[in-house]
Structure 1
Amino acid sequence: MTPTRIIALLLLAFLPRASSAADQKSAPDAAPRPNIVVFFADDLGYSDLGCYGSEIATPNIDRLADQGVRFRQFYNNGRCCPSRASILTGRYPAQVGVGAMIDGYAKWIRDAAARPSYDDHLSAATPTIAELLRNAGYRTMMSGKWHLGDRPAEWPVQRGFDRSFALIPGAMNYYGGESDGPRAPMVLDGETFVPPHDGFYSTDAFTDRAIEFLKEAKTKQQPFFLYLPYNAPHWPLQADADEIAAYDGVYDKGWQKSRHRRRRQMINLGLIPETNLMSQMDRGNARAWDRMPDDVRDEWARRMEIYAAQVTRMDRNIGRVLAQLDAMGASDNTLVIFLSDNGGAAEDPHRGKPDAVLGSRDSFWGYGRPWATVSNTPWRRHKISMYEGGISTPAVVRWPAATPDDANGKIVDGPAHIMDLVPTFLDLAGAQPTAAQREQLEGRNIADMFRGESAPADRTICWEHEGNRAIRQGNWKLVELPDSPNGWELYDIATDRGEHYNLAAERPEVARKLAEEYNRWAERCGVIPWPEIRAKRKDK
């Protein structure tokens, strides 16, 4: 070896070495990055879980709450597509093309808006959490409802998921019947999947695939991200007869008594104070239970029995996934979160065969506005509305490796939003998005809340969907229904989360300030005022 070569090698030996991402991952003192599992229910209301005051049996989710934390003030975007857009991107829906629903019936809204913020699919310009985590070395998997784009280029397999089994549109027959319209009902990775006629139930099928994907992930030397957005308990009401029978008679006394029973249990659990008033049922839908004929009452009670059976079946399937994590030895360092895309749905479809047994594969009903109000106890209104009943739902987090023992079973306070999950997951995963990608994120890191720490209310969150709009800043909330003659309503969420006392006339300066802040947000995000959209429809 020449003297020059020897000197060069000696110099290299003493130069500081840049550490690669692989070096950082393998460093002996580096904390292992968590696996992440997201259970995402569809149309499940604030009080629909046992750990949130319900009579519905949800032992597996309740166990997560006992071993982790529950959120008192967790928010979504009030409807399917907008919430799914935010949970996957960490941004407001209109910022990623989902200013309206992507379905055919909302085409007139998109046409009237004529802006990129109102498209028929999730924007490809913003990366999903799956794309960002995959770039960071995660195995990414999805099994469940997509509802963010119908064309093959918009399917989960093209948006960062290594494996995916997905319901593409917004609803389906739980037993595998035909989907509405010419869209692919289900896909397995990049191929259309046709459910078998017999032995299929969507909640079970999504879980079967999720467990299959987890078993595959066990063979990989990388952390994993599993997104499991069930279509339950979204309509249609469909469940097996023996599961419905478990709730026989539970709802025979009607919706008002069910609401009061739930409210009392929520007080006992410490979720709401004794002073929290029950919201009124929507006008025109507060039918007196005792004045209805027996057969009408029986049918209404049956609807809620089926809904409850769907929730319990989902919970049982969540238990199967948790058991698989245990079998893999992965539970301790797996961050598990359960949440819902919006509150209970007042939508009430009546399709299917006229003579079909309610709850069977040939029926296609919803549970209706009165039961949706029960689901959202004690809050006001329901899915699509920006009152608390539409946008505030349960959130349960378990992460044994990071949550102190004294935080187990704790209820954390302070507002959090579904768009907070992306920045939180990225930070916990040690992911390094570009500066531009990081700056796009609207959510904030709420990892401390996962560990049992409450957060201050000093943040601003905005909402808009089909003219339903709201802004919360601190404990003030401004909210408006579309085409409302009353205009903006102002509530103090700290003392009146049930939204009973409109303070807009008493505190006009607060209402004006919040309205101005909302308008700036809407302009920044590409949200078009609803009257402008409605006017264009009338012109046609």
Structure 2
Amino acid sequence: MIPFLASSTHDFDTRSGEQRPPFHSQRRIISLTFMVCVALITQSNFLAPLRAESGNRPNIVLIMADDIGYSDLGCFGSEIETPNLDGLASNGLRFTNFYSENMCWVSRAALLTGIYHKTSMFENAIHPRCVALPEVLHDHGYQTRMSGKWHLAGAPYRVFPNDRGFDEFYGILGGAASFYAPAFLSRDRTNVESEANNNPDYYFTDAISSEASRMIRSADAKKPLFLSVAYTAAHWPLHAKPSDMKAYEGKYAIGWDRLRAQRLATMKKLGIISQDVLLSTRHSNVPAWKDEPNQAWQQRRMEVYAAQVTSMDRGIGQIVQTLKETDRFENTLIFFTIDNGGCHVEYLPDRTGDFLPKQTRDGRPMRPGNLPEIMPGPEDTYQSYGYGWANASNTPYRQFKQFDHEGGIRTPMIAHWPKGIASKGDLVRSVSHLIDIMPTVLDVIGVSVPNEYNGHEPIKMDGQSMAGSFEGEAIAGHEILFFHHAKGRAIRYGDWKLVAENKKPWELYDLSRDPTESNNLAQEMPEKVKALELIWETESRRLKKQAEQP
């Protein structure tokens, strides 16, 4: 640890006014200390004692949702009905300081490798020198299966999950698709779009859940199972079944301003955030609800979004029930997380892509775009829920998907394991990240990444095990987290956060006092900015160098 950088009372204490030694005189010490810290972190992932004997290894189920905000689950403060996730949370752990990346594919790569990925590293695919979690588990006797969204195929869709350790795959290769007729729907390496096109009742969220249940039932009962379930809910398009939408009719007439306040109060009551947290300012692109000219359409957008989340939750309940019926549930470690925060993107009428069908399955023309005269939900529409509701989804934080402010990267995480988690319903406040999932899984089953894989020395993991939290231990968490993708760049060091949008100047926040990033201290504390920028640059160079090695 670098004391004067980690503590809020060094350089310049905003409460006492005490001046601290300037950073430039200690730059070499910081640089060397940082490199030592990185080395210690990467080498210490598997020093914990083995937590499962080989004959009783747990099944592993990783569930990832898509573009859902920090406050969108009932157990994190939402009015959206998520009884199955709430049940897992009440009998497991909720991680309240958990981070994703700010967009889909980099988060999925981090989840499955324990390693930071970014745009310049290897586009839309796992770096070839990374060993993926299913590869390690497959080599240690696990059955490995996946249902849902891959989004790690590279361009143009050349890498299948079967190429990275999965025995079986059902889902889509890209990042988005119609929920009624998903593009590039595949079983293993075979296109099966016809399964959706020929079934008038097809709905992708339901299919992901049903296929996951089938995979559990067909698995060899004598072998442990690793199952990845990657939903596209609630990524655009806004597609939901009429029965699910009906349950939310009129619920969002209160508008996004009252909804944010309501969620904030619930989050405080649940202990998700502290009592003194204030809402971030409503985003500048979002009018006050009373001034919104298209309230009926706006309400419908959030109704459909909520219906998508509830449909996913129902599917998770189906998977849990299948685990129980196959006698796997008690010894299954389930993780639920999300790839990034709520997505503000307004879907434009002229936007095209292979994810947008030219027509519906029965031949009707598509009506794409966020047009207030078109109510979302049916198959012939293609819309998103936009700035206002994404701002509410990310309560109480700032910004959205694509950004490295807290609204884009702070996400819920739930861990559930009847045989392995001692403290039921606890909140874990340690700083953790998607890169920690793989080290945790390998820790609990007592294996490690091989020293050589496919003729290469694998890239060392950036993550660290969270397994201690399962036994009620206060785990240390990360001192440093690095971010650089899309419209964001950031470094979190202790409670300090340096963050910027695109090529805009750095902003500086003390998250211990200002978790919603409302008071930018960059002008007041330029030496702190320089210190954190040096760490960000050092980490960026490290990642670039390891990505370029053959």
Is TM (by shorter chain) over 0.5?
yes
Q: Secondary structure at 1:301's aligned position in 2?
A: helix
Asked if structure 1 preserves the Cα contact closer than 8 Å seen for 2:129 and 2:459, the reply is no
The reply to whether residue 72 of structure 1 matches residue 90 of structure 2 is: no
User: d(CA) in 1 for partners of 2:449 and 2:430?
Assistant: 27
Aligned letter for 2:247? A
Where in structure 2 are the equivalents of 1:180-199 lying within 5 Å? Answer: 185-194=184-193, 195-197=195-197, 198-199=200-201
How far apart are residue 130 of structure 1 and its match?
A: 0.5
How far apart are residue 435 of structure 1 and its match?
A: 3.0
The reply to whether residue 138 of structure 1 matches residue 138 of structure 2 is: no
Match of 1:292 in 2: 292
- Distance 1:457-1:210 versus aligned 2 partners, 3 A rule: closer
How far apart are residue 505 of structure 1 and its match?
A: 2.5
Where in structure 2 are the equivalents of 1:174-213 lying within 5 Å? Answer: 174-176=179-181, 179=183, 185-194=184-193, 195-197=195-197, 198-213=200-215
Where in structure 2 are the equivalents of 1:11-22 lying within 5 Å? Answer: none
Asked if structure 2 preserves the Cα contact closer than 8 Å seen for 1:457 and 1:475, the reply is no
Aligned letter for 1:208? S
- Distance 1:189-1:72 versus aligned 2 partners, 3 A rule: same
The reply to whether residue 418 of structure 1 matches residue 444 of structure 2 is: no
Match of 1:381 in 2: 399
Aligned letter for 1:224? L
Q: TM-score, normalised by structure 1?
A: 0.83
Aligned letter for 1:212? R
How far apart are residue 157 of structure 1 and its match?
A: 1.0
How far apart are residue 432 of structure 1 and its match?
A: 3.5
Match of 1:276 in 2: 277
Moved more, 256-265 or 492-501: 492-501
User: d(CA) in 1 for partners of 2:81 and 2:481?
Assistant: 33
Which of 273, 282, 301 in structure 1 is aligned with 2:299? 301
Asked if structure 2 preserves the Cα contact closer than 8 Å seen for 1:144 and 1:229, the reply is yes
How far apart are residue 431 of structure 1 and its match?
A: 2.3
How far apart are residue 451 of structure 1 and its match?
A: 3.7
The reply to whether residue 156 of structure 1 matches residue 161 of structure 2 is: yes
The reply to whether residue 449 of structure 1 matches residue 450 of structure 2 is: no
Asked if structure 2 preserves the Cα contact closer than 8 Å seen for 1:35 and 1:224, the reply is yes
- Distance 1:412-1:438 versus aligned 2 partners, 3 A rule: farther
User: d(CA) in 1 for partners of 2:513 and 2:458?
Assistant: 35
- Distance 1:145-1:120 versus aligned 2 partners, 3 A rule: closer
1:480-539 alpha-carbon deviations (Å, 9 max, x no partner): 11121xx111111112110111122233222211100100111111199xxxxxxxxxxx
1:215-272 alpha-carbon deviations (Å, 9 max, x no partner): 111x342111100010001000011112111111111021010000000000000111
User: d(CA) in 2 for partners of 1:376 and 1:527?
Assistant: 34
Match of 2:450 in 1: 434
Q: Secondary structure at 1:491's aligned position in 2?
A: strand
How far apart are residue 347 of structure 1 and its match?
A: 1.0
Which sections of structure 1, spanning at least 5 residues, go unmatched? 1-27, 101-116, 180-184, 529-540
Q: TM-score, normalised by structure 2?
A: 0.82
Match of 1:337 in 2: 335
How far apart are residue 453 of structure 1 and its match?
A: 3.5
How far apart are residue 385 of structure 1 and its match?
A: 0.6
Which of 337, 347, 353 in structure 1 is aligned with 2:367? 353
Which sections of structure 2, spanning at least 5 residues, go unmatched? 1-51, 350-365
User: d(CA) in 1 for partners of 2:406 and 2:157?
Assistant: 36
Asked if structure 2 preserves the Cα contact closer than 8 Å seen for 1:72 and 1:394, the reply is yes
User: d(CA) in 2 for partners of 1:443 and 1:288?
Assistant: 41
How far apart are residue 455 of structure 1 and its match?
A: 3.0
How far apart are residue 466 of structure 1 and its match?
A: 2.6
Match of 2:312 in 1: 314
Asked if structure 2 preserves the Cα contact closer than 8 Å seen for 1:136 and 1:430, the reply is no
Match of 2:353 in 1: none
User: d(CA) in 1 for partners of 2:258 and 2:508?
Assistant: 29
User: d(CA) in 2 for partners of 1:527 and 1:274?
Assistant: 43
Larger Rg: 1
How far apart are residue 201 of structure 1 and its match?
A: 0.5
- Distance 1:457-1:447 versus aligned 2 partners, 3 A rule: closer
Match of 2:171 in 1: 166
How far apart are residue 292 of structure 1 and its match?
A: 3.2
User: d(CA) in 1 for partners of 2:124 and 2:271?
Assistant: 42
Where in structure 2 are the equivalents of 1:359-374 lying within 5 Å? Answer: 359-374=377-392
User: d(CA) in 2 for partners of 1:47 and 1:29?
Assistant: 37
What's the Cα RMSD here? Answer: 1.9
Aligned letter for 1:189? D
Moved more, 378-387 or 504-513: 504-513
The number of residues matched between the two structures is: 467
User: d(CA) in 1 for partners of 2:277 and 2:73?
Assistant: 19
Match of 1:20 in 2: none
1:416-439 alpha-carbon deviations (Å, 9 max, x no partner): 000111111112222242236676
Asked if structure 1 preserves the Cα contact closer than 8 Å seen for 2:484 and 2:490, the reply is yes
1:11-36 alpha-carbon deviations (Å, 9 max, x no partner): xxxxxxxxxxxxxxxxx976611110
Which of 46, 61, 71 in structure 1 is aligned with 2:70? 46
